Each structure stands twice: as structure tokens, then as C-alpha cells.
Amino acid sequence: VSLTSPTVIRNAVVDTVVLGHHIPKGTDIFIMSNGPDFFSPPFPIAEKDRSESSQTAKGRIGSWDPQDLQNFRPERWITVDDEGRDAYDSTAGPMLSFGLGPRGCFGKRMAYLDLRIYIVLIVWNFELQKVPVEFSSYGAEDKMTRQPQQAFVRLESVKNGI
Ligand code: HEM
């Protein structure tokens, strides 16, 4: 659900308007990857407050069911491709894990590779056990990156790991 990086930041280089709010030149705008739309339903936004480009871009990115946002459900990213096979759809929902555009994450490809390696090593070497319910949550401290305070799984070494 939540992201390694809690926010993507952009600085307004001109006076502008975002969702009906006047933003003076020089203001830092934080695009949050937590809170509403991630842990709770999104704020309602009147269509007239959206920019023209926002309105015409509608439908290019999917949206999540606001009722199950808090659930770990990785299959929300899976769609069926032309040949009827399950396929990963990076546009299935509104996520900016690695930011976007010319200042998007420089290390994205490397991070993908790292994550594959971590997951394989974890699956080879550990069993995933449940954590007692009082310690199970997405609770975290958001700094430059998100630092979890609790987790839903604990790792137990397996005998014949590598
Ligand atoms: C899961 C791992 C990672 C996540 C979630 C992540 C996420 C992000 C995000 C959200 C940004 C800001 C993008 C924006 O403002 O549009 C960023 C920027 C950046 N990331 Fe990553 N990152 C990850 C791993 C890495 C790795 C492994 C490297 C280097 C090897 C890296 C190098 C950078 C650099 C250099 C920038 C600044 C790009 C710029 O401002 O031009 N990141 N990252």
C-alpha cells in the first residue's frame, strides 16, 4: 500500500493554480504517497477544479476501490493481456513510487533488480510468519524515506536455506 518514498516534491516556477488553489511562484508542492487515496478514500474533487490536462488525461490511469485501500492485495496490479494471460499493469492505479518525468528516480531499474534479488533470497531462506496483531500495522515514520515501525510478517530461518 504505502511507498518507500512518502512524497514527491515539485517547486512552482511560476504563479499557478492547483485544484482551484492559488500557488505562488517559489512554493514547494508535496505530492503525498500516503494518507487519503492510499490509506483512506480520496478527497472529493470537483471536476471544474481540475486543470484541462487533468480532465483530458482521465481514464489513462486506473483507480482503486476506496473500500479496500488498506488491504495488501498485490493482484490489484494484475490484468489479463491480449492472449488471456495474467500481466502486470503499471497503470492499474494512481501510484508514483518512483516519481515521474525528467526528475523521476534515477535508480528505478536498479531498484527493480534489487527487489527481485531480495524477494528471491527471502523466499529461499525464510518462512514468513505472522506478527501478533498488536504489532501488525503499516505504522511508520515518514522521513526522507518511510521507516516502518511495525510489520505484518516476521522472518524465520529455514534449515536448508542458501
Ligand atoms: C525502492 C527503491 C527506490 C524508490 C522507491 C525510489 C524513489 C524515488 C523517488 C520517489 C524519487 C523522486 C522522483 C521525483 O521527484 O519525481 C527518487 C529520486 C532519485 N532516486 Fe530513487 N528510489 C529508489 C531507489 C533508488 C536507487 C537504487 C538509486 C540509485 C542507484 C536511486 C537514485 C535516485 C536519484 C539520483 C534520484 C534523484 C533524481 C533527480 O532528482 O533527478 N533511487 N527516487
Q: What is the pTM of this model?
A: 0.85
Give the pLDDT confidence of 69-84 residue by residue, as tens digits.
878 888 999 999 899 9
Per-residue burial over 11-20, b if 16 or more Cβ lie within 10 Å, else e, is: eeeeeeebee
117 pocket-lining for ligand 1 (C-beta < 6 Å): no
Q: How confident is residue 2, by pLDDT bands cut at 50, 70 and 90? A: low
27-31, 123-127, 143-147: least confidently modelled range = 143-147
What pLDDT, on a 0 to 100 scale, did the predictor assign at position 156?
Answer: 95
Cβ–Cβ < 8 Å for 119, 153: no
Q: Does the pLDDT value for residue 1 go beyond 60? A: no
105 Cβ closer than 6 Å to some ligand 1 atom: yes
* C-alpha separations of 45 from 51, 66, 162 in Å: 12, 14, 51
Quick one: pLDDT at residue 90?
86
Pocket test for ligand 1, best of 105, 113, 142, 146 (most atoms within 8 A of CB): 105
